[in-house]
Amino acid sequence: MRSRIAVHCALSFTASAVCSLGSAGSLIVVAALLASTCGPAAAAVPHYQLDVVLDPETRLLQVDGWIAIPPGRTLAFRLDPHFRVQRFDLEGKRVAAERTPDGTTVHGPVRAPPEHAVTVHVRYAGELAALQALDHRQVLGLAEPVCGPEGALLPAATGWYPQARGERLTYRIKVLTRGGFRAVMPGRLVQQADSSAGNETIFESVHALPGIDLAAGPYSVREQKLALASGREVRVRTYFHPELAELAPGYIESAARYLTHYDREIGPYAFASYSIVSSPLPTGFGMPGLAYLGRQVLRLPFIRATSLRHEVLHDWWGNGVVPDSAHGNWAEGLTTLLADYAYREEHGEAQAKAMRLRWLRDYAAVAPERDRPLAQFVSRRHGADQAVGYNKTAFVFLMLRDRIGDGAFRAGLQAFWREHRLRTAGWQDLQRAFEAQARIDLSGFFEQWVERPGAPLLEVTDARRSLASGQHRVSIVVRQQGAIFRLRVPLRIHHEHGSIDAAVEMRGPQVRADIALPARALFVEIDPDMRVFRRLHPEGIAPTLRQVLLDPHTRVAVAAPDKTAREAALSVAKAALESGVKLLDPGATAVDTPLLIVGMHAEVKRLLERLELPERSVPGAEAGSALAYAWRTPDGQPYAVVAAADARQLTALARPLPHLGGQSYAVFDGARSSARGLWPAQSRRYPVTD
């Protein structure tokens, strides 16, 4: 099945949900684990030195090790109560433990005096839960470490090691895996060796990380050493299930290319390695230097081209510089711009423009009460967060680049990376970095786009032509509604011999521009290339099937010659509509609610004529047996047409149609959609009068 690609990824400030890679049929979620605060690498944080033994056959986990508590700190440690604790000692004395109401065991608190660190010795063991097929929502809430023949996953949030809440930490972890398993985790691979006892791997992180995430599986490991321009050597590795081995060289090549690119464009890569790990779960986690992706997901062709690039770039924005949670997550939008949008830009302006249009269209669907300033976005919880936190943020960075120029934008990002690498930083730090490079005051820009919600709604309220002394002119009034944005508004003026582009500076609700033309003016477009973040007028948005299928007020008109066809039509309507079938009054000659017309081609055509609705021609329709499309009445009511050659072909649409809501049209061959798409956007045209 052909999939439309959507990449949504969020860095969460708690150990929970995050990036999701959606395709038409399935939703796969990738999580990144980030804590709310992040000090520089040298900050006084606890250091863990653990010896871990993991046996996938018995699912037995044994841990023996030491936790160093920095001078002057008092820490309590939570541990999953399923483990049998053999030691939890401070200087030979057992540390007190108690069960908490939420079912975990808390050991401590343990105090380190101001003069020196203290070390706790821990030893515990237990059987891990069996890995089962979970859907992605369960995985996001993965409450306990799991292990099975296909792999083991021990996320930090599950309490598989003694955890001091909210504390970042450094570590050196030795993992002995049996049964052909290999372990992988964020950090530098210090050592890796096979012996009769199993595979022994040591990972070390000198950077303070939010937790210890450990994965293991029956992996074949492939590695390439990558020399970066910054003089560093990075080990790029794949840990893939054997059936994915043939994909490994391609993934390594792509990851190496992205690392090289961003290392050169932004600044030296901060981590020692980059690993792509296949997950037996339909999910994954993004961690510093590591992408843990579902083994089915890895087979999808677009993952390498787009999602992997996005995940790699998070090692600069998100894992490398951590957004300051109190003042908004800028990292998703910046990553979206420099990975997802950059990919479109590299494939031509048409693709880039289509993405900008999609962002504006998604934003137009955000209810005003769900809109909020970028400074308040933390992570993605619903669709509005995607439209604002990811897309609007990306668009704002794009407008900033347009405003200060490519050179200053790039230099600003490089300076921001130099100053805040492996630290926390917020919007104000970004503003300072760009102001220093561009040498202009950007406070107004950041105030209106980051601190305030909303976007301008622009329109031409008057456009008049004149001719004096042989010179054609046009006088245009542009207005914005609601809160005032200071904007440079691009205009395209079409005249009898072509068009010219101009721009007006808006400082208030209205501005008048007077423009000389080589010929008589015909009409005007506002921002035809979509370079200003704004609310689109409804007619600027291509109708989609969803507008009809989801609306609780939608009426159904059946256009069928006989009982069999009528039943087929009703079954399709029932499957496609969110709120059940409510029939249009049979005598109706006008449409005052959203309408679904469903039936046979000839009868549908006659019904459209009776209702005075235009029939659209659908690209690729000649090759299919059935089609569906959405359009709107002259009054702006959305309607959808679903038509087939016979009852059997119509019935076949019941399954695919509900999944095509995001399309303007689709053509079907049986139950398979052979063509689909969005109508091209119609930029609003304002006629010029005398």
Q: Is 683:540 a contact under the CB 8 Å cutoff?
A: yes
CA distance 126 to 144: 12
Residue 286 or 426 with smaller CB distance to Zn ion: 286
Three-state DSSP at 151 gives strand
- Name residues whose C-beta falls within 8 Å of residue 246's C-beta, 6 or more positions apart in sequence: none
Q: How far is the CB of 339 from Zn ion (least distance, A)?
A: 8
CA distance 333 to 269: 20
Residue 394 or 493 with smaller CB distance to Zn ion: 394
CA distance 89 to 123: 9
Residue 158 or 329 with smaller CB distance to Zn ion: 329
Q: Is 375:368 a contact under the CB 8 Å cutoff?
A: no
Q: How far is the CB of 414 from Zn ion (least distance, A)?
A: 21
- DSSP 8-state symbol, 76: E
CA distance 576 to 587: 24
Q: How many Cα atoms within 13 Å fall on the side-chain side of residue 225?
A: 5
Residue 289 or 599 with smaller CB distance to Zn ion: 289
Q: How far is the CB of 264 from Zn ion (least distance, A)?
A: 21
Q: How far is the CB of 17 from Zn ion (least distance, A)?
A: 11
> CA angle at residue 469 from 464 to 474, to 5 degrees?
20
Strand partners, 686: 524
Q: How far is the CB of 309 from Zn ion (least distance, A)?
A: 11
Over 605-659, what HEC string results?
HHHHHHCCCCCCCCCCHHHCCEEEEEEECCCCCEEEEEEECCHHHHHHHHCCHHH
Residue 8 or 535 with smaller CB distance to Zn ion: 8
Residue 310 or 684 with smaller CB distance to Zn ion: 310
For residue 550, CA distances in Å to 456, 567, 620, 627 come to 27, 21, 26, 19
CA distance 572 to 138: 32
Q: How far is the CB of 349 from Zn ion (least distance, A)?
A: 25
Of 522, 475, 468, nearest to 498 by C-alpha is 522
Q: How far is CA 146 from the centre of its chain?
A: 27
Q: How far is the CB of 208 from Zn ion (least distance, A)?
A: 21
Q: How far is the CB of 19 from Zn ion (least distance, A)?
A: 5
- Name residues whose C-beta falls within 8 Å of residue 302's C-beta, 6 or more positions apart in sequence: 3, 5
Residue 337 or 667 with smaller CB distance to Zn ion: 337
Residue 83 or 316 with smaller CB distance to Zn ion: 316
Q: How far is the CB of 380 from Zn ion (least distance, A)?
A: 9
Residue 9 or 577 with smaller CB distance to Zn ion: 9
Q: How far is the CB of 29 from Zn ion (least distance, A)?
A: 11
CA distance 48 to 610: 76
What is the phi/psi pair of residue 623, to 5°? -90, -5
Over 556-585, what HEC string results?
EEEECCCHHHHHHHHHHHHHHCCCCCCECC
Residue 9 or 54 with smaller CB distance to Zn ion: 9
The residue number with the shortest CB distance to Zn ion is 9
Structure tokens at 434: 């760009």
Strands 146-148 vs 151-154: parallel, antiparallel or unpaired: antiparallel
Q: How far is the CB of 30 from Zn ion (least distance, A)?
A: 8
Dihedral (CA of 623, 626, 631, 632) sign: positive
Residue 19 or 458 with smaller CB distance to Zn ion: 19
Q: How far is the CB of 268 from Zn ion (least distance, A)?
A: 21
Residue 9 or 128 with smaller CB distance to Zn ion: 9
Residue 337 or 558 with smaller CB distance to Zn ion: 337
Amino acid in position 481: Q
Strand partners, 89: 94, 121
Residue 205 or 386 with smaller CB distance to Zn ion: 386
Structure tokens at 628: 């569906």
Q: How far is the CB of 306 from Zn ion (least distance, A)?
A: 11
Q: How far is the CB of 9 from Zn ion (least distance, A)?
A: 2
CA distance 383 to 369: 13
Polymer length of the chain: 690
Q: Is 157:163 a contact under the CB 8 Å cutoff?
A: no
Q: How far is the CB of 434 from Zn ion (least distance, A)?
A: 22
Residue 254 or 649 with smaller CB distance to Zn ion: 254
Which residues are at the interface with Zn ion (CB under 5 A)?
Answer: 9, 19
Q: How far is the CB of 317 from Zn ion (least distance, A)?
A: 9
CA distance 187 to 202: 10
Strands 273-279 vs 290-294: parallel, antiparallel or unpaired: parallel
Residue 19 or 214 with smaller CB distance to Zn ion: 19
The neighbour count for residue 639, using CB atoms within 10 Å, is 24
Amino acid in position 546: R
